[in-house]
Amino acid sequence: MIGVSTAFAEGRLMPVQGTSIAHSVDSLYYFLVIASTISCILLIGGMIYFAMKYRRKSDSDKVGTLTHSGLLEFTWSFVPFLIFMFVFGWGWYIYDQMRHPPKDAFEVHVVAKQWAWEFKYKSGKTSSNLVVPANTPVKLIMSSIDVLHSFYVPAFRIKQDVVPGMYTQVWFKSEMEGEFQIFCTEFCGTRHSEMLSKVLVLPQTEFEKWLGTDEYKGLSLLDIGKKLYTDKGCVACHSTSGVSGVGPSWKGVFGTLRKLDNGQEVAFDENYVRESVLTPSAKVLAGFKPGVMPTFQGSLSEQEITAIIEFLKSLK
Ligand code: HEC
Ligand SMILES: [Cu+2]
């Protein structure tokens, strides 16, 4: 994971610079930090120096006549003005680049919801991670189906609100292959902090292979569910035979009432499955330990969860 905390752990001041804009943003940021530090030293240092030098040493010290220097006042106003205008121009230049994606940018649709990201490609493929080719401009067209979210990739230095009822966009060109953390940076409810996905930047050819292969082509939801049951490792803990292992067996459970460890009873329905998969600790089945089942948040798309539900239904 490439977040701010890991940057510190690795002895860097900032997250890795995954895009060209990251270099520009960091340069501007460092300039501001250095310019502010110098101004602070000059100002506070000057103040302390003058306070010492001209302090009233004895009662007989007269309060001197205060005079005024037009040139001096002009200079200390005009020089900061020039610096501010310089920062403004520089910031504008970077911001303008960030706002305007190249015409030929590769487009991906992003759907934000409580509490997951979903990435939709024109080919019809959907993914819970944003998979993109390296060195290619990528434009994200984003919307939310519920509340305000915000799309943030620290390593790319891009951040954009994702708003229900409208589209917002952001673009980047990743110069580095690898895995980068996506955060939601707009508090969006209880599990806001779990709204995590990754950007996976692949070489062009590998990306095309990824995009071209529709791993579920021609499969029914039920077949997809069956495939995921083994591929995602549910099989290790959940049997379909009626015998419980680490987790409860799935045989004949759909549509029944389940007894939880807090004594409540809940219906084993679609929402229960969805919740169990995304946040296993929300409701724990009586007789089982919490914290054993990992969350599949970010590694199962909505379509895949639907497929698992269909598979569960089929296990009479
Ligand atoms: C490491 C073991 C493990 C794996 C892997 C695992 N689970 Fe679980 N699962 C559990 C345990 C233990 C429970 C019961 C405790 C709880 O409810 O958290 C459980 C509970 C559930 C429940 C609620 C079950 C009920 O009978 O009320 C569902 C639904 C579920 N898991 C789905 C899945 C799916 C889908 C996968 C694969 C994508 C999966 N699990 C992978 C261990 C696992
Ligand atoms: Cu969010």
- Domains within the chain, CATH numbers bracketed: 1-37+96-214 (2.60.40.420), 221-314 (1.10.760.10)
Task: Find the mean pLDDT for residues 46-65.
Answer: 82
* pLDDT tens per residue across span 57-96: 777 777 666 778 889 999 989 999 999 999 999 999 999 9
| Ligand 1 binding pocket includes 273 (Cβ within 6 Å) | yes
CA 276–ligand 1 middle distance (angstroms): 7
The pLDDT value given to residue 123:
78
**What residue owns the CA closest to ligand 1's atom 5?**
234
Q: What is the mean pLDDT of residues 254-268?
A: 92
The pLDDT assigned to 74 comes to 93
Tens of pLDDT, residues 202-225: 998 889 888 877 667 778 889 889
What confidence tier does 32 reach under pLDDT thresholds 50, 70, 90? very high
pLDDT score recorded for residue 55: 83
Q: Is 151 exposed, middle or buried (0-12, 13-18, 19+ CB in 10 A)?
A: buried
CA dist 61 and 50 (Å) reads 16
pLDDT, tens digit, 9 for 90 and up, residues 223-237: 889 988 988 888 888
Q: What is the pLDDT of residue 285?
A: 92
Average pLDDT, the chain: 88
Q: Whose CA is nearest to atom 32 of ligand 1?
A: 277
Ligand closest to Cα of 250 equals 1
Flag whether the pTM goes above 0.75.
no
Residue 107 clears pLDDT 90, i.e. is over it: yes
Which residue(s) pair with 139 in the sheet? Answer: 107, 171
- Residue 115's pLDDT is 84
Structure tokens at 55: 């302090």
73 vs 266: CA distance, rounded Å: 74
Residue-wise pLDDT tens digits, 285-312:
998 988 888 888 877 878 889 999 999 9
Query: Are the C-beta atoms of residues 157 and 7 closer than 8 Å to each other?
Result: no
pLDDT value for 64: 67
For residue 230, report the distance from its CA to the centre of ligand 1, in Å. Answer: 13
- Dihedral sign computed on CA atoms, order 141, 145, 147, 151: negative
